[in-house]
Structure formats: C-alpha cells, structure tokens
Structure 1
Amino acid sequence: MARRPDHELTASVRPDGYLELFSRRTGKRHRCGPRGTTMWLALQRSDWQPESAAEEIAARLGVDPDSIRCDIDAWVSHFRETAE
C-alpha cells in the first residue's frame, strides 16, 4: 500500500550524499546514508509504491527485488514507529 510521507516532512540530499529528513511537527532530524537516500529517491520516483521502488533498485544492482523490498519495508517501518 502506498503511503506518502507526512506533509510536514522536509527531505533534502546533502552534498555528501546523505539524505536529511526533518519533521517540522516533531522537530526530529534524521540523516540517511547513500542506501537510505537511494530508497527514498526510488520511493519518490515510484509514487511511494514499495514494490516498484524495489524493482527499480534491484534492476540497477542486479539482485532479487524481494530482498530489496524487505529492506524498504524495514526502513519505512522504522520511520513510522519513530513518528508515532
């Protein structure tokens, strides 16, 4: 199921390749390395559809989309839990 990020969430990719997420609602910041940045960008390009994002990343890396989907699900779950 697609779920867009909170509209109060600001995302920016820093020059060092790290994604910085900032929630104006909670005041929390989180920096993601290149792997998290890749997942965020793929989700964004796929209209927040984890299956499509996993297929995009898997095709680029030459790996099984199911393993990438597990990573994406865990990553998204982490952010949902910390936002509650």
Structure 2
Amino acid sequence: MGAEENIGGVAAILRPVAAVIVSVSPSGCVELRLPSRRRSWRCDGVGSAMWIALRQHDGRIGEASEMLAGIWRLDPVDVRCVMNSWAAELCDAGFLRLEK
C-alpha cells in the first residue's frame, strides 16, 4: 500500500470486508471479527481512533490521518505512515480491502 493508496493511477478507498463484525468493548476499544474465518482483531486506543476516523472519512486514509494529526497535534506525515502500516496489517489479516 503506497503513500497515496493509488492503484493504476486511480485513488483507492479502504473498506471493511462485507463479513466483518465491528463492536466496541466496555473499555472503548474497537473489536473486529470475521466469524467465517474464525479471526478477530482488537484495536488498542490508537487503532480504535484510526478505525473510527477511517470510517468517518468514508475510507479515505489521507483525510482520516489529517484529522487525527490535528487532534493529536502530530506531524500529518508521521500519522499517515502509522495509519498506512496499520491499514496494511488489517488488509493482510482480511478485515479491510482496497476499493478503486
């Protein structure tokens, strides 16, 4: 996954796979489950914030990372790098997919 999430020159959007079940634990952490694959993923506080920001921005990781960088008062490039790595892990684990 590149810095701009482009595939063949077309901007891509990150979407949850259709079967993913999302819940929030009593402590506020986002939990993702894929019952068909018997997989689960528990986001820590930062991961939970990234998931929510990504969903708020309709899968546009650039906009989501810009928003979080502003809230956290961090360099947008640094936040984007962390979000790219996090999103790549979720794609590899089967919870997110790239959409053109």
TM-score by length of 2: 0.78
The structure that is helix-richer by fraction is 1
**Who is 2:51 aligned against?**
40
| Structure 1 residue 71 corresponds to structure 2 residue 60 | no
SS in structure 1 at match of 2:32 = strand
Unaligned runs of 5+ residues in structure 1 are: none
Q: What secondary structure, in the 3-state scheme, does the structure 2 residue paired with 1:4 have?
A: strand
* Stretches (4+) displaced over 4 A: none
Per chain length, whose mean CA-contact separation is higher, i.e. which structure has more relative contact order (CA < 8 Å, sep 6+)?
A: 2
Q: CA deviation at 1:36?
A: 0.5
Cα root mean square deviation, aligned: 1.4
Among the aligned pairs, what percent are the same residue?
Answer: 29
User: For the pair shown, which has the larger CA radius of gyration, 1 or 2?
Assistant: 2
Equivalenced residue count is 84
- Taking the aligned partners of 2:88 and 2:72, their CA distance within structure 1 comes to 23
Residues in 2 aligned to 1:12 and 1:65: alpha-carbon distance in whole angstroms = 28
Equivalent residue for 1:9, pick from 12, 20, 24: 20
Identify the residue that residue 92 of structure 2 maps to in structure 1.
Answer: 81
